[in-house]
Copies of this chain bind each other. A is one copy, B any other.
Amino acid sequence: MHRERFYTLSASCPDRVGIVARVSGFIAEHRGWILETSLHAEAPRADVKESEVDGRYFMRIEIKAASLPFHLAEFRERFRPLADELEMDWSITDSAVKKRVVLLVSKQEHCLYDLLARWQSKELDIEIPCVISNHDTFRGFVEWHGIPFHHVPVTADNKASAYAEVQRIVEEVRGETIVLARYMQVLSPELCAAYRGRIINIHHSFLPSFVGAKPYHQAWTKGVKLIGATCHYVTEELDQGPIIEQDVIRIDHSDSVEDMVRYGKDIEKTVLARGLRYHLEGRVLTHGNKTIVFR
């Protein structure tokens, strides 16, 4: 069943009386048909020091495109005064315009196969303008799908120039979102800053446990009874960015590190795909180092 064209408004602003009334009033005034509305008020907490002093309001609204008497450009124009008054961070997107997502991979196949299967079947209805890898392993597989493949080797010595090259390619293909599909490399601070909130990583542990390298070895050594994976935005600090999605699977003493790796891969790819989808559909709003995810 194909969905009708719709716009997605994602926004946050300081909490106050009347936000929903003002925004939904604006939409109703233009006879906009709301398909889905998600709202969240984050109250301040005196007992958590990282908590913001004032409350903040988050929203995501899907509006049937055909129900409005104007297009997106005019929506933006007309909505701006209200958004400014409410001190909103906001964006609105059009379901008819495909997002451009660049995949970065290394030598592990599971997330790449998984994402291309979703892309091929239009479950993920995106453009993949190219795949970039520090190895040439998946060139044939990617190119068979009709997607350009760029091999950008990364060594201890060439990191700066390698990431500059990655950034150049992403810019050239007008990539909007970068997915580290088990890329296994720490990006440069420049790249992290340039695409803040638009680089998505899958880490193979249930963060904050087992940051860094070889998390399954760490998990095996610790003797945990569940292992997991975490999809998060990449920031300059390794494995510390806002968490978008997580999941776990039960293991036991009979599972070796290799078994854990195998079970873990299944969690990694589904968690990455869910997190990426939430991001692309404007379902993820960040608040400091946390996320609101309107599932």
Contacts and interface: CB of A to CB of B under 8 A. Distances in A.
Interface of A: 1, 3, 17-18, 20-22, 24-25, 27-29, 31-43, 45, 47-48, 50-51, 67, 108-110, 112-114, 116-118, 120-121, 123, 140-141, 144, 206-210, 217, 220-226, 228, 242-243, 245-248, 250, 252-254, 256-258, 262, 265-266, 270, 273, 289-293, 295
Contacts of A31: 17
In the complex, the 10 A-B pairs of residues with the closest C-beta atoms, listed nearest first: A223-B290, A113-B117, A18-B28, A21-B28, A21-B24, A20-B24, A253-B292, A225-B246, A37-B39, A21-B25
Contacts of A50: 221
Given A224-B246, A289-B223, A67 B253 contact: no
Contact of A17 (B33, B208, B209, B262): B33
Given A21-B21, A40-B253, 16 more contacts: A1-B257, A17-B32, A20-B20, A21-B25, A25-B25, A37-B41, A42-B253, A48-B217, A109-B120, A112-B117, A140-B144, A141-B144, A221-B290, A223-B243, A225-B246, A225-B247
Copies of this chain held together in the complex: 4
17 contacts: A17-B67, A20-B37, A24-B25, A37-B41, A47-B257, A112-B117, A113-B117, A113-B120, A114-B114, A114-B117, A123-B262, A208-B224, A209-B209, A226-B248, A252-B293, A253-B290, A266-B270
A221 B49 CA distance: 9
A253 B293 contact: yes
A17 B31 CA distance: 6
A228 B208 CA distance: 13
Question: Taking chain A's interface residues, is the majority helix, strand, or loop, or is none over half, making it mixed?
Answer: mixed
A256 B29 CA distance: 28
A250 B118 CA distance: 20
A291 B223 contact: yes
B209 A226 contact: no
Nearest to A267: B270
